[in-house]
Amino acid sequence: MRLRSFGFGALSLTAGVVLLGGCEGTAPGAESASASTEAVTVDASGQMRVDLDAIFPAGEGRDLMLNNCQSCHTWVPVVVLQMNEQEWNRWASEHRGRVPGLSDEEFATLQSYLIENFNPETPVPELPPALLESWTTY
């Protein structure tokens, strides 16, 4: 299990599900058994669960994104900003040096995955406020 602290409690990533705990009270709209998308649910105890499999489609590049991009920031801006190909290409030129452990082929695979799955035509998943507050800029 991997824990990251964002000041609102703990974010734990395990088996493709992010559990949000430590929040005071529940998030707006969390009174029901589940949030408005399949990606986010709230269990009976009020703990939010974010299903990464529902947000990050299977494919080459998925694990590269989840295992490398979070060393600098959460995955939230990736799914919220939904950049077009030109913007992702600009991102690639700005970010290549930040992941020196990736080969050029792996980096190209990561870039292709982001262009294909996180673009203006892709619906932005509804995320809990605690996750949205975990980043300020990209």
Q: What is the mean pLDDT of residues 58-69?
A: 93
What is the predicted pLDDT for the residue at 27?
36
- Domain assignment of residue 50, yes or no: yes
- Domain assignment of residue 15, yes or no: yes
Average pLDDT, the chain: 75
Domain hosting 28: range is 2-55
- Domain assignment of residue 124, yes or no: no
Residue 33 reports pLDDT greater than 80: no
Place of tokens 């979070």: 70
What is the predicted pLDDT for the residue at 35?
34
- Domain assignment of residue 135, yes or no: no
pTM: 0.69
What is the predicted pLDDT for the residue at 136?
62
Q: What is the mean pLDDT of residues 83-109?
A: 95
| Domains: count for the chain | 1
Q: Beta 17-21 vs 2-5: how paired, if at all?
A: unpaired
